[in-house]
């Protein structure tokens, strides 16, 4: 865990220093640090990294590269063009990390009421490390994050275009299209959340079967969750949903943007609850959860700003650090962090 804490500490300290010295949110140095940290890792970090780097490690001749109908064309085009020039998987990790981190930081910088705290959550809630495992889906999720302004501004066409762009790396980005209408329909948020839960009860079984049948890579999505990791993570986000809901009522948070963000987060969580009840593999449909939960990096700073209590914020930060330790060290083979052999000095 030490390397993860070091990069977390460095990024947060730099943000504080740049705010104090230049009175601006730090972007380039955190982007560089987080990109390099992800890019310099070994293929042994992350459950799926070995599959993504196989062609590079096997020195595949680009002329023997086979395009597959089961892999999204955007990702295949990226891998193909990289193989033209290099057989080092560092460049695959580096470029994808640059895309992912920059997409999120752009949105965080634009919308966060507390940039430092948002970046802290971005790392500790696992939004940053998600693509260490699901590289293609991580790319799709980060690209989809750029659709947030259009969701909030009710601009359907740009929102759809970004969803289609994300789907070039993972088809799951298309799943986000209906939620534009769920968030922006003129019905009370509570009714929208309830309707989403009921709708999920009706279609969740079909959804899992569709993913499993549409692509051989997703056949494991219909398998049962044997380890319970998916339940723990979903339970954590469900608990946060309830806490935010009650705090927003107690402190009367009625800001329109907050309500849109919270509604988007809430409908995503309640939609995934019936899927989890079916016992689906968390590496499958439950991975869709991150499409929604990343918005906590914007929602929670608003909540804690309204609470305005340093002790409450400090306790919450400790709990998020504990969650970071638990998820990083227990799930998805993120620890130990191993550096790419090309960067080993000794």
Of the chain, the percentage scoring pLDDT greater than 90 comes to 61
pTM: 0.91
- pLDDT tens per residue across span 180-223: 999 988 888 888 888 888 888 877 666 666 655 555 555 555 45
Distances 63 to 60, 67, 91, 182, 259 between C-alpha atoms, Å: 8, 11, 19, 46, 51
Mean pLDDT in residue range 301-307: 94
pLDDT at 294 over 90: yes
Instruction: Confirm if 73 and 86 have CB atoms less than 8 A apart.
Output: no
Of 164 and 256, which is predicted with more confidence?
164
Backbone angles phi, psi at 334, to 5 degrees: -85, -15
Give pLDDT tens digits for 113-131. 999 999 999 999 999 999 9
Q: Is 22 exposed, middle or buried (0-12, 13-18, 19+ CB in 10 A)?
A: exposed
End-to-end CA distance of the chain: 21
Q: Across residues 22-33, what is the average pLDDT?
A: 95
d(CA 183, CA 30): 31
Q: Any idea which residue has 């398998």 for tokens?
A: 223
Q: With 60 as the cut, is the pLDDT of residue 8 above it?
A: yes
Do residues 183 and 267 make contact, with C-beta atoms less than 8 angstroms apart?
yes
The C-alpha atoms of residue 133 and residue 127 are separated, in whole angstroms, by 11
User: What is the distance between the alpha carbons of residues 36 and 41, in angstroms, rounded to a whole number?
Assistant: 9
Alpha-carbon gap, residue 113 to 93, rounded angstroms: 30
Interhelix angle 115-124/310-330, rounded to 10 degrees, is: 30
Task: Check residue 224 and give its pLDDT.
Answer: 47
Average the pLDDT over 89-98 and give the result. Answer: 96
Across the chain, mean pLDDT equals 87
């Amino acid at each position: 865990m030490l390397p993860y804490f070091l990069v977390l500490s460095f990024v947060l300290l730099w943000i504080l220093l740049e705010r104090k010295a230049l009175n601006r949110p730090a972007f380039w140095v955190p982007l560089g640090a987080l990109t390099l940290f992800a890019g310099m890792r070994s293929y042994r970090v992350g459950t799926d990294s070995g599959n993504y780097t196989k062609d590079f490690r096997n020195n595949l001749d680009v002329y023997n590269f086979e395009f597959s109908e089961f892999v999204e064309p955007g990702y295949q085009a990226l891998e193909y063009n990289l193989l033209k020039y290099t057989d080092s998987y560092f460049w695959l990790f580096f470029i994808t990390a640059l895309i992912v981190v920059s997409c999120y930081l752009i949105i965080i910088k634009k919308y966060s009421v507390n940039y430092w705290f948002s970046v802290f959550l971005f790392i500790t809630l696992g939004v940053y490390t998600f693509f260490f495992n699901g590289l293609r889906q991580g790319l799709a999720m980060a690209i989809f994050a750029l659709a947030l302004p259009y969701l909030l501004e009710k601009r359907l066409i740009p929102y759809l275009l970004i969803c289609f762009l994300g789907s070039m790396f993972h088809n799951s980005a298309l799943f986000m299209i209906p939620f534009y209408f769920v968030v922006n329909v003129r019905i009370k948020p509570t009714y929208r959340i309830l309707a989403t839960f009921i709708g999920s009860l009706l279609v969740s079984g079909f959804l899992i079967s569709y993913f499993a049948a549409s692509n051989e890579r997703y056949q494991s999505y219909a398998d049962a969750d044997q380890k319970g990791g998916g339940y723990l993570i979903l339970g954590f986000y469900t608990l946060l949903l309830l806490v935010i809901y009650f705090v927003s009522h107690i402190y009367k948070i009625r800001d329109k943007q907050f309500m849109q963000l919270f509604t988007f987060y809430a409908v995503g969580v309640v939609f995934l609850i019936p899927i989890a009840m079916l016992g689906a593999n968390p590496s499958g449909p439950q991975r869709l959860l991150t499409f929604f939960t990343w918005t906590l990096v914007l929602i929670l700073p608003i909540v804690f700003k309204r609470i305005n209590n340093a002790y409450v914020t400090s306790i919450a930060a400790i709990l998020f650090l504990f969650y970071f330790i638990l998820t990083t060290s227990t799930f998805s083979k993120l620890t130990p962090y191993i550096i790419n052999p090309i960067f080993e000095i000794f």
